[in-house]
Homo-oligomer: A and B are copies of this chain.
């Protein structure tokens, strides 16, 4: 009897939910997300950017949804309807791209309605929430550069590695022109495709170049993981130890393999004045660890929600073989130290402030920017790139 009551109650809840959903769809203009795979009705997005997710799972006992900080950082229960679909409406999501996933009877799975993107060390569903009044990251009717998949053999790691290389719109039309290069690094658990796929970097650069807000440049996006061929198996670990160890190998790969290969394969200006390095999160830390040790290679630096962790700035005067010790020399040599975060990721805002202050105390100039209403997610970093790229290479 208790069971029967519970079942009736459950059906009742579902019916109420379904009615709400139907009303909601009508009233709030739910439409399939632009990021859905072809022909998929779900997920849907409302006028206030609530996200209606659905998964068909007739035999499942429990289904939840979870995602990035601007979407649904804590697991949220879905409710099963009589057809076997599980449904939930995530209230007003933050702007731009979010990773997300379902948890079906304890197993983390992707949404068949969305494409996957390499995040959290594995292919993970993603959704694009419209951003009112912002189109700097959209494909527009301007000349477009190509993003090239570029393979090279890395002797240090004993593997073929893949870089994605953005060549600006006029690259093929001016076969003698040489270009400055921005090395752009992804975050932990992501890969070399992140900046072009999740980040829309090619559209951002195309638009900036078309508006003459940025100089035409080559952008190199390589993989942020590197393990020496004789070392223990590669990890995609997030720990400080993993990251520092990896940065050491990655430093060698950058200095001895990536940069020489790019200078050989593309029409670069192979000088420090024409080379920039920037990265997001783990990539920001790598930019610090690699870049500050090689002022002879780079002049422009960007730290996008940079993970300045693990005490690497505890003793700034002696950090990086004393790179910051002589402020005058540093300020002459380094054209830009740019720090960014999103207002919703408070610990990174604090890291930006702390690092800027430590540098200022030594007399070192830096710039910062906080993206309003965004989190430790890609829309923050799209805005960072859009703010950072125009400052490069003495436009």
Contacts and interface: CB of A to CB of B under 8 A. Distances in A.
Nearest to A144: B151
Contacts of A265: 172
Please state the number of chain copies in the assembly: 2
A225 interface: yes
Given A104-B107, A112-B108, A59 B61 contact: yes
A55 interface: yes
A225 B38 contact: yes
Contact of A146 (B122, B148, B234): B148
B116 A266 contact: no
A243 to B, nearest CB: 14
A39 interface: yes
Given A121-B39, A234-B38, A56 B149 contact: no
A150 interface: yes
Nearest to A110: B110
Given A122-B112, A150-B146, A153-B141, A57 B105 contact: yes
A202 interface: yes
B148 A152 contact: no
A3 to B, nearest CB: 19
Candidate in A37, A116, A122, A141 with the most chain B CB atoms within 10 angstroms: A122
A165 interface: yes
A133 interface: no
Interface string A167-182: 0000010010000000
A50 to B, nearest CB: 22
A92 interface: no
A60 B112 contact: no
Nearest to A57: B107
A154 B62 CA distance: 43
Contacts of A59: 61-62, 105-107
A38 B105 contact: no
A140 to B, nearest CB: 9
Interface range for A? 35 or more
Given A56-B107, A109-B110, A38 B149 contact: no
Contacts of A115: 118, 123
A284 to B, nearest CB: 21
Interface in A18-43: 37-39
A83 to B, nearest CB: 13
B39 A236 contact: yes
A185 to B, nearest CB: 16
A58 interface: yes
A235 interface: yes
A139 interface: yes
Contacts of A175: 175
A73 to B, nearest CB: 20
A116 B123 contact: yes
Contacts of A149: 146-149, 196, 202
A98 B277 CA distance: 38
Given A38-B225, A116-B123, A57 B106 contact: yes
Nearest to A189: B38
Interface string A220-250: 0000010000000111110000000000000
Interface of A: 37-39, 55-62, 104-110, 112, 115-116, 118, 121-123, 139, 141, 144, 146-153, 160, 165, 172, 175, 196, 202, 225, 233-237, 265-267
Given A110-B116, A147-B149, 19 more contacts: A37-B122, A37-B123, A38-B236, A39-B233, A39-B234, A55-B107, A57-B107, A59-B61, A59-B62, A59-B106, A61-B61, A105-B105, A116-B123, A144-B152, A146-B148, A146-B149, A147-B148, A149-B202, A175-B175
In the A-B complex, the 6 residue pairs with the smallest Cβ-Cβ separation, listed nearest first, are A175-B175, A146-B148, A109-B109, A59-B106, A116-B123, A147-B149
